[in-house]
Structure 1
Amino acid sequence: MATRAGRGLIELIDAGTPAGRDRGIDGLRAIAVLGVVLGHWLVTALVVDGDAVRVTSPLRYLPQLTPFSWLFQTLAVFFLVGGMVAARSQAAAGAGGYRTWLRGRMARLFRPVAVVLLVWGTAAVAMIAGGVPVQTVRALAGLVWSPLWFLLVFAVLTAATPLVVRMRPEWPFAVVLLVDLIRYGLDGPAWLGWVNVLAGWLVPYCLGATGTHSRRSGWLMLAGGATATAALVLWAGYPASMVGVPGATVSNLDPPTLASVTFGLAQCGAAVLLLDPLRRLLRRRPAAWAAVALVNLSAITIFLWHQTAMIAVSAVGRAAGGPLPGLHTVPDGLGWVAARLGWLPVFAVALAACWAVVRGRGAIR
C-alpha cells in the first residue's frame, strides 16, 4: 500500500510539472540546500560543559577534515540559481509588475522567518526563566538566528534584480579584490570587509541573472576559480576552510573574502557543467524529480529549521542520559566523526517532524 501510494505521488508530481519547468535549475537548488544542511550538521558541535552548552567545530580540532568544507559550503550555487530564476520571473512580470513581483517574493522569503523568530524568541525567554544558563541560550539561539543573514542578502539582491541584469559580474568581483587589498595588503580597517557581504554574493547572483552559460564558460569558471583559490590559500595566507572555524583569526565566510568568491566561481562553473546532465536525469527519473520537487517546495523551511532539528535531538539525548558521543562531546577525534555520521539520519527525522508541524511551503522560485 505504501509503495503504491509513493508511486502515485511520484506520478502525480511528474504529471503536474509544467513542460517548461527547468528541472536542472531545481536540481541545483536542491543540491545547494542539502549541502548547507549537511555542512551545518557536520561542522557544528554542541558540547556539554558542566551545566552549560557551548558551540564548537570539528574543524578546530581536526584540520584534516577541511576538504569537507569545500563540498558542503554551497551558498554560491544558491545565489547563482537565485539570479537565474529571479531574472527570468522578473522579466516575465514586466516593468509594470515589479512591485507585485517583489512583494510576492519577499512574502515567500520572510513569512517563514517570522514563525522561526516567534518560536525561538518564546523559547529563549522560557529557557532563561527556567534557569538555563544565558551562555547556553545564546549559543542555541545563535545557531538558529545567525544563518538569517543569508536571507537578508538574498532579499536585497532580489530587489535589485532589474539593475543586476545590466551589470557585469566583473564589477562586484573588482570591489571584493579592492576591499581585500586594502584590508590585508594595506592594513586597512576590518569593518571594510562587510562591504563584501553584498559584493561577494553579488558575483554568483549576477552570473546567474545576466544570461545563459556554455560548457566553455563553465570549464573556465571551474578551472580559473579553483586555480585562483589554491593560489590564494597557498601563497596569500587565506584560510583553506571555506567555513568559519572557532578561534581562527580570519574567516573566509564572515565576511566573505576574495578566496571565498573565487571558490564560489569554481562552484558556479561546476554547476553550469552539471545543468544539462541534471536536466536529462530528472526528465528520465520521475522518482528523482519528485524528491527534488519536494525539496524545492520546502527549501526555506528546510533552511530555517534544520538547526532546530539538530538542537532538539541534542536536547532529547541529554535528557535521556547524555552526554552522548557525537552529540554532546568534544569533536576532537575520528570517533566523534563516525558517531556524528550515525546521528545524521536522526537529525533528518527530526527535521521532517519540524516540517510536518510548520507545514512550510517556502520555495524560492
Structure 2
Amino acid sequence: MSVAAPFPRPAEVEATTPPDRDRAIDVIRITALLGVVVGHTVMATSTIRDDVFIWSNLLTASPVFQALTWIFQIMPLFFFAGVAASVNSWTPGHSWGDWLMRRCTRLYRPVFFYLAFWAVTLAVLRVVLPEHVYEPVAGVSIQLLWFLGAYVLVLAAIPALARITTTGRLVAAVATGYGVVAAVDVLRLNVDGLSALGYLNMAAWLIPGMLGVAYRRRLLTARAACALGAAMFAVNVALLVSGPYELSLVGIETQQLKNMTPPSLLLAGHAIMLCAFAIAAAPVINRWARRRRVWWLTVIGNSGAMTLYLWHIPVLLGIHLVFDYLGHPRFDPGSPDFVALSALQLLLMGAAVAAVFATLRPLENDPLPLWDGGRVAGPGPRSAAVGTLLCIAGAATLASVGWGLKDEGLYCAAAMLAALAAARALATDSAEMAFQQEKVE
C-alpha cells in the first residue's frame, strides 16, 4: 500500500496490517495531534483594533478552561507514542547518525514546503497588511515547530533511553528526570538571575519517552500504571495548592509562571500521570482499534500526521483574519454572537483542514529530491557528525519559535536549514536506501 496514493479502502488497510501490530500506539499518536487541532480551534480568539491584530486565547478569560487543560494538554502522549514506536528499531552498535537521519527525513520533509509557503505568504502580507497585523501573524507562523525541535532531541536520546530494560531502571530514570526538573525549578524561582536555567527543563520531554520505553517493554502492569497516575495527580494538586504554580498547563500571556515554556515541575508530573493512564488504558484501546473503521481512520490520519499538525495553523489564522476584517471577530465570550461564530468557525476549520490534509498529504510521504536517500553505513565520526548536526537543527527549530519568522527567528530558521543541509551532505546516497526502508512507524 502506498500512503501517497488515494486513500485505501478499510479492507486494504486491514489486510496490510501485521497481526502483531500494537494499534494503541497509533491511536494515541493521532488522538494527541487531533486534540491539538481541535483545542487550538476552540480556544483561539482574535480581533483587530486600530490596525493591531490581537491573537488571544479563551484560557485568559476562564479558570474553567484553564482547569480543562489538565485533561486536554495531551502533547506528552505524542512523545510517549513516538518513542514507544521507535525504540525497538534501534540496535546498539549501529549508526546513530543513520538511525536519526531516517526519522528526520520523514519529519522534516513537509517542513520544507511549510517554510516555503510562509516565506512567500509573509512576503505578500508584509506589503498588504498593517505592520501590527503582520507582526503577530509572522510570530505565530512557525510557533508549532517547538514540538518538532523537542521531538528530534528526544529521538536523538533513544540510544540512552533504550537502556531502560527493567522496572528498577525505569524508576531510577523517571525519578532522576523529575528530580532534575524539581531542582531547576527551585533554583530559577528562588535565586535572582537564574531564570534562564528553566530551559534546562526541556529535558522534561524525555520523561514521556521513558514511559514509552516502559510500555513497549511491559515494565509496568496496568494496576501499577493506574497507581502511578493517581499518585502523580495527587502530587500535582498539592503543588498547585501550596506551590508557585498556576492552573493552566498551556502557556497564556497572563501567567507569571508558565508551565509550558519552559516546562515546569507541574507539567513534568502531568506527563507522568498522562502516560501512566495511557499504559493502563492501552489494552482497551487496542481492542477498540480492532474495529475496521476505527483502524482505517487511524492509519489514514497517521499517514499525514505532520501535515495535519503543521497546516492547521495557516488555515486557522486565515479564518480569523477574514472574520476580523469582515467585522465579526470571535474575541469576547460574552458577546451575543460568540457561540454562533464559534460553531461556524469550527465547521469551516473542519472542512478546510480536511481539504488541506487530502491535498498536501503526499508532500509528507513522497520522496523529496536532494533530501531523501541519506545514509551513514556504520558508526564512527561521520555518523556522530550527522547525528550532532540533526540535534543542532532540532535545537534551532525549537529556538526559532520564540520569534516566528521575524527578527532573531529568521536567524534560527537559517541555522536549522544549514544544519539539515550539512547533515544531508554528510549522509551519502546509497541505492540500498529505498524509500520504503526509510518509512518510520
Q: Which moved more, 1:7-16 or 1:141-150?
A: 7-16
Q: Deviations over 1:8-55 (max 9, x none)?
A: 711121222122221111011111111111122222212222333221
Alignment pair present for 1:291 and 2:297:
yes
Aligned equivalent of 1:144: 141
* Partner SS state of residue 48, structure 2: strand
Identity across aligned pairs (percent)? 28
The CA deviation at 1:64 is 2.4
Aligned equivalent of 1:252: 259
* Partner SS state of residue 66, structure 1: helix
Check whether the contact 1:309–1:347 (CA below 8 A) recurs between aligned residues. yes
Residue 336 of structure 1 aligns to which amino acid in structure 2? Answer: F
Aligned equivalent of 1:3: none
Aligned equivalent of 1:280: 287
The CA deviation at 1:107 is 0.7
Report the CA distance shift for 1:15/1:164 in structure 2 as closer, same or farther (over 3 A).
same
Aligned equivalent of 1:153: 150
Q: Which runs of 5+ in 1 are unaligned?
A: 1-5
Residue 295 of structure 1 aligns to which amino acid in structure 2? Answer: G
The CA deviation at 1:229 is 1.0
The CA deviation at 1:288 is 0.8
Superposition map of 1:78-117 within 5 A: 78-91=78-91, 95-117=93-115
Aligned equivalent of 1:72: 72
Report the CA distance shift for 1:188/1:334 in structure 2 as closer, same or farther (over 3 A).
farther
The CA deviation at 1:201 is 0.6
Check whether the contact 1:26–1:292 (CA below 8 A) recurs between aligned residues. yes
Report the CA distance shift for 1:135/1:364 in structure 2 as closer, same or farther (over 3 A).
farther
Aligned equivalent of 1:37: 37
The CA deviation at 1:341 is 4.1
From 202, 205, 208, the counterpart of 2:209 = 205
The CA deviation at 1:298 is 0.8
Residue 9 of structure 2 aligns to which amino acid in structure 1? Answer: L
Q: Which moved more, 1:179-188 or 1:70-79?
A: 179-188
Check whether the contact 2:102–2:440 (CA below 8 A) recurs between aligned residues. no
Question: Separation in 1 of the partners of 2:260 and 2:74?
Answer: 12
Check whether the contact 1:305–1:354 (CA below 8 A) recurs between aligned residues. yes
> Which TM-score applies when normalising by structure 1?
0.89
Question: Separation in 1 of the partners of 2:229 and 2:94?
Answer: 38
Aligned equivalent of 1:343: 345
Q: Which moved more, 1:58-67 or 1:107-116?
A: 58-67
Check whether the contact 2:182–2:265 (CA below 8 A) recurs between aligned residues. yes
* Partner SS state of residue 48, structure 1: strand
The CA deviation at 1:194 is 0.6
The CA deviation at 1:304 is 0.7
Report the CA distance shift for 1:99/1:330 in structure 2 as closer, same or farther (over 3 A).
same
Q: Which moved more, 1:188-197 or 1:211-220?
A: 211-220
Q: Which runs of 5+ in 2 are unaligned?
A: 1-5, 165-172, 366-438
* Partner SS state of residue 96, structure 1: coil
Question: Separation in 2 of the partners of 1:318 and 1:336?
Answer: 13
Superposition map of 1:129-208 within 5 A: 129-130=127-128, 132-166=129-163, 168-187=173-192, 189-197=194-202, 199-208=203-212
Check whether the contact 1:242–1:260 (CA below 8 A) recurs between aligned residues. yes
Residue 144 of structure 1 aligns to which amino acid in structure 2? Answer: S
Alignment pair present for 1:20 and 2:20:
yes
Check whether the contact 2:51–2:132 (CA below 8 A) recurs between aligned residues. no
Check whether the contact 1:10–1:286 (CA below 8 A) recurs between aligned residues. yes
Residue 196 of structure 1 aligns to which amino acid in structure 2? Answer: N
Question: Separation in 2 of the partners of 1:78 and 1:193?
Answer: 22
* Partner SS state of residue 55, structure 2: strand
The CA deviation at 1:313 is 2.0
The CA deviation at 1:356 is 3.2
Check whether the contact 2:311–2:356 (CA below 8 A) recurs between aligned residues. yes
* Partner SS state of residue 54, structure 2: strand
Superposition map of 1:220-235 within 5 A: 220-235=227-242
Check whether the contact 1:296–1:364 (CA below 8 A) recurs between aligned residues. no
Aligned equivalent of 2:358: 356
Aligned equivalent of 2:310: 304
The CA deviation at 1:287 is 0.4
Q: Deviations over 1:182-237 (max 9, x none)?
A: 1224455111111111x111111122124323102311221011111111111102
Question: Separation in 2 of the partners of 1:8 and 1:36?
Answer: 26
- Structure 1 vs Structure 2 CA RMSD: 2.3
Report the CA distance shift for 1:116/1:332 in structure 2 as closer, same or farther (over 3 A).
farther
Check whether the contact 1:82–1:364 (CA below 8 A) recurs between aligned residues. no
Check whether the contact 1:61–1:332 (CA below 8 A) recurs between aligned residues. no
Question: Separation in 1 of the partners of 2:68 and 2:342?
Answer: 14
Question: Separation in 2 of the partners of 1:84 and 1:307?
Answer: 27
Residue 361 of structure 1 aligns to which amino acid in structure 2? Answer: E
Report the CA distance shift for 1:234/1:342 in structure 2 as closer, same or farther (over 3 A).
farther
Question: Separation in 2 of the partners of 1:8 and 1:204?
Answer: 32
* Partner SS state of residue 169, structure 1: helix
The CA deviation at 1:135 is 2.4
Report the CA distance shift for 1:67/1:364 in structure 2 as closer, same or farther (over 3 A).
farther
Aligned equivalent of 1:239: 246
* Partner SS state of residue 90, structure 2: helix
Q: Which moved more, 1:252-261 or 1:136-145?
A: 136-145
Aligned equivalent of 2:268: 261
